[in-house]
Structure 1
């Protein structure tokens, strides 16, 4: 029998629970809010006047959450320490006219969201979840977390070249899932089904934001259970770690020189340009209102922002054992080696030397090892909310994350101890 891990797996167990309960950004922020409520935070509405008293608060807007903790006696110019993340993941999303089908199959019309590894959605049992907008102006979350849909792959007998030329998928023709049999397409069938699932009367739903998800639960993997396979690690792994870190810091009762913040945005996978995305005004508005609620002036706001640092936490690429040549030859982040610092001199990541020092100090305080990721010069580099946050708000920002494999797949893979190491580093950053 192998030696047990020296790390506490309770955090990773809880991460898997969080992933299972969060098939959409709307569910993710609702679950984060529930955890913060248990830690003493309370929700504030953007339409209400805010007070400047101490304590934990959060704002929900669609698939985004901004949460912060004001220490007792915090001055109006107290700077912030922000953990940034995103709640969305690439997937298949339901179109406005969802009911379709052909040749005796009933199907659901979907649109491709973000940049998924499309082959990973084939022949996989899919559920359906999201947000229903009701006639009275309210919303209702729905989650059909059982096998409901499937995108069937073409048999090899009808595509002999797939083994030599690779799989070629047309986004419009080849990714529409089936969910039943029948020759008649009836408009309204899918929404009527979801109204029944949500316990709503027929005709109550007038709008929807729905998406598919794999119903296979997260699981430990490997001989020694040192890996975790699961959906939406990009980037609910960071949302979960940030939520846990903020709750821990708020509960510590320690004197805080900064105001700790969690900012989890929607729509990162499509460019962040929305009212709930990192390129929108949400974060700046919340931070400013926090300053002004404590009696601050524009001068206090400027001082607070000048001293603020954000860790943009998003998953990154572990070196792939079958494709090591795709990585930079001198930077090979390994699963299980601790969180990664993400660097790109063309500002696809926001990290610079001073930011590296901030993250190194947090990791040293938490006794957490860290690694560095740099893209191969011959390949384009991805990006995150980091550069957007830095440019939009003038806030010093550092890009970090956990190294994973199969990014943008319906099911991703990481080392079982890395999520806990990230959370520990975030606690040290929020409470320097």
Structure 2
């Protein structure tokens, strides 16, 4: 079971180089499991026991399994995660020709660790908007092959490299795509038009715009002398999206279950499809009873906000509170912050800990050092938007926000097991 889940995660990561592709991958898996797509621009007809999903901006998704037990009696079981990861996004007019090389200007998305982006085999993927036969259309593209690289400067020319230096995102990050001869021009939109033809058989009249990200082509893998780890890009937070999906598809019982995977968490969640936007509430209000009943349902519900946690690194153990150093392969982590950077309360933490104990899943706790700043998640944002009780949890990882992150190979099975139990739980506190 563990090996199957890990391979499934590796396949999901490969198919999901951008939030658009991650949402498409989730939607395809939901469709295969009998979930019906609902268009927000059309009337909806939902039935008890029905299974539905909604996407917005092609990059966020909400999946709902309506229980046969009225949600006004038992509430909802919600799991939240996010589809985006720190990366390098291509600028609107990106063409650079310097010293006979064709490069693309990029903008850093989110709080990326920049040094690991150097000397990697990069490809490009995302959404392209174009005019075709007089109409404006959009398609996802993925070059898949390594088409770019950001070479490091040789240490002979930067003797202080190993003493650390500030990376200039404007001048040092533009990837190299090709060499150009003489005054030969390079048109990025022509390249995208060719890719649309190659992938989709489309002949675009004009490429109008795009949202494209570079990504590392090296596949995720189970690594380590004893296969103890999973290394790969975008573990934060596609690992949680995948775990939530597996739990939803495996859930039994008559309860109403929701999986929400929002875009834009890494840049503050403030968008029409982000956790700080109206998407989740709007979807739920269209599927559930309104007015007084809706508020009662929310107050009987609970959200598990699943986002990766910081495992204690053996080389940097002093970056953790001595009593709160989560270990890889020791189970999911309950994240606590008294300043509400995490939305966990004693009640919600106690319930999640109870679920772990009942299902023989190891569980840990994380509190940031008191002299360090704390990150945040969609948990507090969704809690403030919906008024739903929330517990913030996640699997411990190393190298968070790097181009290649590391998690424990045993932990995914732990997380899927407890999230499945949560979805199937007949009683909430």
TM-score range, shorter chain: over 0.9
2:61 matched residue in structure 1: 65
SS in 2 for 1:133: strand
Q: Is 1:101–2:94 an aligned residue pair?
A: no
Partner of 2:17: 23
- Distance (Å, rounded) in 1 between the aligned partners of 2:50 and 2:420: 17
Q: Residue 190 of structure 1: CA displacement? A: 3.6
CA separation in 2, counterparts of 1:391 and 1:55? 28
Any residues of structure 2 matched to 1:239-318 within 5 Å, and which? Answer: 239-249=241-251, 252=252, 254=253, 256=254, 258-291=255-288, 296-318=289-311
Q: In the TM superposition, what is the alpha-carbon distance from 1:397 to its structure 2 partner? A: 0.8
Q: Give the C-alpha shift of residue 363 in structure 1.
A: 1.3
Cα distance in 2 for residues equivalent to 1:379 and 1:73:
45
Stretch moving more, 97-106 or 361-370: 361-370
Task: State the shift of 1:73 in Å.
Answer: 5.2
Query: Structure 2 unaligned runs (5+)?
Result: none
1:194 equivalent in alignment to 2:192: no
- In structure 2, the partner of 1:226 is 228
Question: Does the aligned pair in 2 maintain the 1:132–1:139 contact within 8 Å?
Answer: yes
Alignment partner of 1:145: what SS? coil
1:142–1:197 Cα contact (<8 Å) kept: no
How far apart are the structure 2 equivalents of 1:191 and 1:28? 20
- Deviation by residue 1:64-117 (Cα, 9 ceiling, x = unmatched): 000010123535565211100000000000111122221101001111000111
Distance 1:99 1:189, change over 3 A: farther
Structure 1 residue aligned with 2:375: 382
Following superposition, the deviation at residue 365 of structure 1 comes to 2.9
SS in 1 for 2:146: strand
How far, CA to CA, are the matches of 1:301 and 1:202 in structure 2?
Answer: 46
Q: CA deviation at 1:362?
A: 2.0
- 4+ residue stretches of structure 1 with deviation over 4 A? 75-78
How many positions carry a matched residue from both structures? 416
TM-score normalised to structure 2 length: 0.94
Following superposition, the deviation at residue 352 of structure 1 comes to 1.0
**Residue pairs, 1:323-334, within 5 angstroms:** 323-334=316-327
TM-score by length of 1: 0.93
The structure 2 residue matched to 1:424, chosen from 410, 414, 417, is 417
1:30-429 to 2 correspondences below 5 Å: 30-53=24-47, 54-61=49-56, 62-72=58-68, 74=70, 78-135=74-131, 136-163=135-162, 165-182=163-180, 183=182, 184-187=184-187, 188-198=189-199, 199-249=201-251, 252=252, 254=253, 256=254, 258-291=255-288, 296-429=289-422
Cα RMSD (Å): 1.4
Of the structure 1 ranges 129-138 and 371-380, higher mean CA displacement relative to structure 2 is found in 129-138
Equivalent in the alignment of 1:4: none
How far apart are the structure 2 equivalents of 1:101 and 1:316?
A: 41
Q: Aligned-pair distance for 1:59?
A: 0.1
Distance of 1:192 and 1:28 partners within structure 2? 23
CA-CA distance at 1:204 after TM superposition: 4.1
Answer yes or no: is the 8 Å Cα contact 2:85–2:237 preserved in 1. yes
3-state SS in 1 of match to 2:136: coil
The separation in 2 between residues aligned to 1:28 and 1:380, in whole angstroms, is 30
Deviation at 1:161, TM superposition (A): 1.2
